[in-house]
Amino acid sequence: MSDNFLFAEEPEVNEAVNYGSWKVLIVDDEPEVHAVTKLALNDFQFQNKRLEFISAYSGIEARAMLNSHPDIAIVLLDVVMETDDAGLQVARYIREQLQNQFVRIILRTGQPGQAPERQVIVDYDINDYKSKTELTAQKLFTVIMSSLRSYRDIISLEQSRQGLAKIIDASVDLFSSHSMEQFIDGVLQQLTSVLGCDENACIVSSSLVAGSIQTTDPHDLFVFAGQGDFERQEGRPIKEVLEPALLDAFEEALASKDIVYRDNFLVAYCCSKFTQGSLLYVSGLSGPMSENKKKLIELFAQNVQVAYENVQLQHEVEDTQREIVYRLSEAVEHRSVETGNHVRRIAFICYELAKAYGLSEEDAERIMFAAPLHDVGKIGIPDAILNKPANLTEKEWQVMQTHSSIGFNILKNSKRSIIQAGAVIARDHHEKWDGSGYPSGKKGEDIHVFARIAALADVYDALRHRRCYKDAWTLEQVLAEIDSQSGRQFEPKMVASFKVVVPKLEAILQKYPDDVNVSD
């Protein structure tokens, strides 16, 4: 080999900042080839990243290293090792078994006739082919540089594709909390790809989505969404996540309401009309930011906050709708001796029953918000009947039964899914599994599952609390009564689900008590 190959010099590199590295796998059965390659490329750098060398001395070792390091950028691959085509089999393994189309494969051979260049390039998806005798230090530098540029661009395109896929997927239901996190995660991936940095990025805020974590102190920041080191850190205070040096940069960005650039990361302030604002953190910058990239970051910071606040406003609207349902239901309940906490308990009891029964999270939440409307029809029942402590006469009982139809008629014409569910519950929650209920004598699965759940929740809560016509029952008495009504008043499967979550239901009663304590 020539002296140029062994002793080519490179300019000195400032090692004050660690920008990461590019992984290069050397596959060759000659130890001297490993040593010479490392020596020739010792001072190589691209985008402020040095090379990290990984050695394998056979095709079998190469496969193990490729499995352990999926982020290898370049493979310098010998052809003849333990077998005449060991290197070619490694190349085939990379493309066909690992399905890795990103890594750049440079075939180096000391016996060009053993593996003809044209056939190898066509058949094995090799990116470059070099004879060891022609591979001087300068040519090695050139081929590594061109291969890394290709690898960088391919990875950047793949990251952009993944980010775009996440954004498209999230746009189907952008304004739910989960999809917003997914949306921001996708945008973070797009931004890190455009900037050519690593995957460590996050958005933090002093106010998460409406109805969850909120604080009046702008310095109490929480992770809203993140990737890389910040993946699965959502909801955690940044004081528990960040190093002191990073915290200082976050405080500076918050105080200046601007973008703070450091050696290899940035913290961008995202302005807000409704909150103290949010902060965007991205690390692994490849070098000084150009003006175009700075403009991109500024635009991104503005637009992310707009999308974030749209979600907050949507949640505020939803919370307002739910509160109206609660207050309407409480107004009806206050006409009787039952307290408003009855409707809150019914909501949470129905949620737990729905989940135990096997309904989806969406349906469980829908019945939770709709169940408080189950007795809204009592607004049409006279006080003398509604609050009568003695047994009702036959005529009075007929009037009392009309509250199911009254409630249904009040709610039935709404186009809102929660109100529609409330109408069904109001109409059918006094129907019984064996068909002996009212108002229509429905039986079995002809009764909507929401109504079957609400019926059991209503009876459980009513029995466990004092009413004008009875004292509170003990838990043992309630369990015995509900069990005796399995197959009669209640669906057997529903009763079985109820028994599983009794401890959770009892906790709900303790959390939302009436003025009169629950009986032990």
Tokens of 112: 């060009």
What residue type is 129 in one-letter code? Y
CA separation, residue 196 to residues 201, 213, 311, 325 (Å): 13, 33, 29, 50
What residue type is 11 in one-letter code? P
Q: What are the DSSP calls for 296-351, one per residue?
A: HHHHHHHHHHHHHHHHHHHHHHHHHHHHHHHHHHHHHHTTSSS-THHHHHHHHHHH
Q: Give the full edge-to-edge strand order of the sheet including 222-227.
A: 222-227, 201-205, 278-283, 265-270, 259-261
Active-site residue, selected from the candidate residues 378, 412, 442, 504: 378
Which letter, b or e, does each residue of 219-231 get, where b requires 16 or more Cβ atoms within 10 Å of its Cβ?
ebbbbbbbbbebe
Residue 198 DSSP label: -
- Taking the C-alpha atoms of residue 90 and residue 105, their distance in angstroms, rounded to an integer, is 10
- Under a CB-based contact definition with an 8 Å cutoff, are residues 74 and 62 in contact? no
Tokens of 378: 């009592």
Backbone angles phi, psi at 351, to 5 degrees: -60, -50
Please say if 415 is a catalytic residue. no
Look at residues 266, 286, 267, 260 and name the one whose alpha carbon lies nearest to residue 196: 286
- Taking the C-alpha atoms of residue 231 and residue 226, their distance in angstroms, rounded to an integer, is 5
- Taking the C-alpha atoms of residue 160 and residue 199, their distance in angstroms, rounded to an integer, is 12
For residue 7, give every residue at least 6 positions away whose Cβ sits within 8 Å of its Cβ, in sequence order, or none: 39, 137
Residue 257 DSSP label: T
In 358-428, alpha helices (H): 361-370, 383-386, 394-401, 403-411, 417-428
Look at residues 215, 206, 164, 207 and name the one whose alpha carbon lies nearest to residue 185: 164
Tokens of 122: 């066509």
- Under a CB-based contact definition with an 8 Å cutoff, are residues 405 and 361 in contact? no
Residue 96 neighbours by CB distance under 10 Å:
11
Rounded to 5°, the CA angle 59-64-65 comes to: 95
* DSSP helix/strand/coil, 366: helix
Sign of CA dihedral 151, 156, 159, 165: negative
Catalytic residue positions, numbered: 378
